[in-house]
Amino acid sequence: MPSKGKAATKPKATETPATTTSNPTTTNTTSQTASQPSEPTTVLERSQQRFEKTRPFEAARRQQGLSRLSKEDQKGWICDQLLHLTNRLPAASRSCLLGPKASKEIWWTVNGTNSIVRGLKHKPEPYTTWGTDRNGHDVGSYTIERFDERFRQRIALTALQVSSRVFRENVEREKRGFVDARSGREIIVTEREIDEEKVRRSKMAALKKDLYGAITGKLAESVEWEDVVPIPHEEPEGALAAITYPAEYAEAMSYLRAVMTTKEYSPRCLRLTEHIIAMNPAHYTVWLYRAANIFALGISIPDEIEWLNEVALANLKNYQIWHHRHLLVEHYYPTISSDPDALAQFAKQERDFLIAILSEDTKNYHVWSYRSWLVGKLGMWEDEEELKSIEKMIDEDVRNNSAWSHRFVLVFSNPKYATPGKAATEKDEKVPQELVDREVKYAQNKVYLAPQNQSPWNYMRGVLVKGGQPLASVQGFVEEFVNKLGEGEEEEEVKSTHALDLLAEIYAEKKENEKADLCLRRLAEKWDKIRGGYWEWRRKCLTQSEREKAPGEQVEKAEEGIAAA
């Protein structure tokens, strides 16, 4: 390549306007280069000026258009283009572009016009080399000072990244038991180095945020999770219900996926599940994984239950918490089953908590189902405290149907006197009469407190069925709530529709159909109109009571017949 082409060098930033005279200003040219540039205010301007200085013909063309340039300048431009074109070609092919004669001519022209061989590469508009900053602003619009500041920040970040890389490599070496070549000792990562790295990481995170707006998650930043590659959530293309997660949750889930894939069970995983549960306690997978960790690490179950208690109190409507507790108890039970004291102690702890949480939400279905299961699991039927606790709850709110339901379980599934496997709805001969009497009395006492409350009435019926006792055995009691039935609107007194209902059943049981019908009619007409359809059906059943009331199907058929009529 001709050496004469090295006439000019790339102008520097500190270039003064005087150096522009090195531009081709041969006497023949009438071209006007870009007007004397003022001091650039932004880095973009600076780059543009640099470009124009080394590519004056191109600058001129951009300003005026090729057709308006002088012939000399046009020629200069063409040579300029060709020069840059050939510069980009590999050396070997350069001579192939044009024949030797044409090449010579180009170089002769180039010499004549004093073109700058090494001009800056042509870049298309818009000239956005640096991209945008964290606020979305074009970095090209920065002032020189600000740009330099940014540059310094980037250098600082790079330096930190280099040091961090050294640290990470040392961690890896330590893990693999490498030996330092010079000292001959095993590589250890000291506490101090870890602390330094932590500081470094937070500086890196701050710089990244400042420069690029990139938020480094706490987990990604932490030294503890160094070796885990998180698995981000994959959304299929154009998903119907694609989701935007809060960054912290998304990050935590991506780490969870990673450790679940490798089936890691460790303290940090346990902490991770706690972290996620705090954000979204309804996510069932994370509970499953937590349980696996608890068991694998041999964490003390009572300790875990203590933690769970807090979570339960904060999330009263959550299902998963109670199933988790169920799993914990199943796991723990074999270790205490042969120790009556330990069992009693555990039962007491559980009950204390159940009482506490039920005081927040007295009818919580999950808690009550857990409680009735626990009675069976820990064999708490004879536990006086359990019965007392239920009685207390009924004292506090006689309308708490859950408490009544639990009492039935407690009393009538006691293996001491209940036939195992007997359905709740079946009579059980084994149940002692005193017990039946006691429970009937208990229900009746509670009825007095609120005669229209349904629970003790249902309870009493259930007890009578269990004990195989006829409903008529409580007729006296029931009649206390119904007075002067059918003797006129003014006279009639019904303190409980459930009493009236039961009375109708009692009369039917005794085949006193007229009396039964009166009760049912009054219920439909006045005392419980909303269930009119039901009372009417009962009345019709009476008229067929000569034939034995058949279960299920036959009664339905009879009813259909009635409905059609």
Q: Segment 139-178, which members bind other proteins (CB under 8 A)?
A: none
Q: Which residues, numbered 336-375, are part of the site for other proteins (CB under 8 A)?
A: 363, 365, 368-369, 372-373
Dihedral (C-alpha) 385, 391, 397, 398: value to the nearest 10 degrees? Answer: 160
CB of 211 or CB of 555, closer to other proteins: 555
How far apart CA 345 and CA 340 sit, in angstroms, is 8
How far apart CA 188 and CA 170 sit, in angstroms, is 8
CB of 307 or CB of 373, closer to other proteins: 373
Q: Which residues, numbered 381-400, are part of the site for other proteins (CB under 8 A)?
A: 399-400
CB of 158 or CB of 280, closer to other proteins: 280
Q: Which residues, numbered 412-451, are part of the site for other proteins (CB under 8 A)?
A: 412-413, 423-425
| Part of the chain binding other proteins (CB under 8 A), chosen from 171-179, 195-203, 265-273, 315-323 | 315-323
DSSP 234: P
User: Residue 241 interacts with other proteins (CB under 8 A)?
Assistant: yes
User: Residue 406 interacts with other proteins (CB under 8 A)?
Assistant: yes
User: Residue 181 interacts with other proteins (CB under 8 A)?
Assistant: no
Q: Which of 130, 265, 307, 534 contacts other proteins by CB under 8 A?
A: 534
Looking from the CA of 393 toward its CB, the CA atoms found within 13 Å total 26
| Part of the chain binding other proteins (CB under 8 A), chosen from 3-11, 66-74, 151-159, 458-466 | 458-466
User: Residue 243 interacts with other proteins (CB under 8 A)?
Assistant: yes
SS3 of 440-460: HHHHHHHHHHCCCCHHHHHHH
Q: How far is the CB of 459 from other proteins (least distance, A)?
A: 8
> What would the two tokens of residue 417 be?
């006197």
Q: Is 131 left (phi over 0), alpha (psi -120 to 50) or beta?
A: left
Q: Which of 454, 469, 513, 545 contacts other proteins by CB under 8 A?
A: 454
Q: Which of 287, 381, 481, 527 contacts other proteins by CB under 8 A?
A: 287
User: Residue 280 interacts with other proteins (CB under 8 A)?
Assistant: yes
DSSP 138: B
Q: Which of 249, 332, 333, 477 contacts other proteins by CB under 8 A?
A: 249
How far apart CA 28 and CA 69 sit, in angstroms, is 12
- The helix/strand count (H/E) of the chain reads as 24, 2
Q: Which of 236, 298, 420, 476 contacts other proteins by CB under 8 A?
A: 236
Q: Which of 247, 162, 153 is nearest to 206 (CA)?
A: 153
How far apart CA 431 and CA 133 sit, in angstroms, is 81
Question: How many angstroms separate the Cα of 509 from the Cα of each of 405, 474, 503?
Answer: 26, 12, 10
Q: Which of 509, 501, 508 is nearest to 485 (CA)?
A: 501
Q: How far is the CB of 556 from other proteins (least distance, A)?
A: 5
Q: How far is the CB of 436 from other proteins (least distance, A)?
A: 13
How far apart CA 23 and CA 33 sit, in angstroms, is 9
| Part of the chain binding other proteins (CB under 8 A), chosen from 114-122, 153-161, 170-178, 456-464 | 456-464
Q: Which of 161, 458, 473, 475 contacts other proteins by CB under 8 A?
A: 458
CB of 463 or CB of 494, closer to other proteins: 463
Interaction pattern, residues 480-519, with other proteins; x per rule: CB under 8 A: ----------------------------------------
User: Residue 303 interacts with other proteins (CB under 8 A)?
Assistant: no
Q: How far is the CB of 428 from other proteins (least distance, A)?
A: 11
Residues that bind other proteins (rule: CB under 8 A) add up to a total of 72
Q: How far is the CB of 240 from other proteins (least distance, A)?
A: 4
Using the Cα atoms of residue 27, residue 30, residue 36 and residue 37 in order, give the sign of their dihedral: negative
CB of 25 or CB of 359, closer to other proteins: 359
Q: How far is the CB of 282 from other proteins (least distance, A)?
A: 6
User: Residue 244 interacts with other proteins (CB under 8 A)?
Assistant: yes
Q: Which of 351, 405, 446, 517 contacts other proteins by CB under 8 A?
A: 405
CB of 258 or CB of 465, closer to other proteins: 465
> What would the two tokens of residue 53 be?
């200085």
CB of 31 or CB of 389, closer to other proteins: 389
The answer to whether the CB of 428 falls within 8 A of the CB of 418 is yes
Indicate the pairing of strand 493-494 with strand 482-483. antiparallel
SS3 of 33-70: CCCCCCCCCEHHHHHHHHHHHHCHHHHHHHHHCHHHCC
CB of 297 or CB of 550, closer to other proteins: 550
Start-end of H helices in 133-190: 144-175
Beta bridge partners of 179: 186
How far apart CA 422 and CA 109 sit, in angstroms, is 112
Place of tokens 């330099």: 148
User: Residue 246 interacts with other proteins (CB under 8 A)?
Assistant: yes
| Part of the chain binding other proteins (CB under 8 A), chosen from 206-214, 406-414, 441-449, 470-478 | 406-414
DSSP 364: -
Which amino acid makes up residue 141?
S
User: Residue 282 interacts with other proteins (CB under 8 A)?
Assistant: yes
CB of 235 or CB of 525, closer to other proteins: 235
User: Residue 247 interacts with other proteins (CB under 8 A)?
Assistant: no
Residue 334, C-beta contacts closer than 8 angstroms, at least 6 positions apart: none
User: Residue 240 interacts with other proteins (CB under 8 A)?
Assistant: yes
User: Residue 290 interacts with other proteins (CB under 8 A)?
Assistant: no
User: Residue 180 interacts with other proteins (CB under 8 A)?
Assistant: no
The answer to whether the CB of 188 falls within 8 A of the CB of 137 is no
Using the Cα atoms of residue 73, residue 79, residue 83 and residue 84 in order, give the sign of their dihedral: positive
| Part of the chain binding other proteins (CB under 8 A), chosen from 132-140, 198-206, 310-318, 525-533 | 525-533
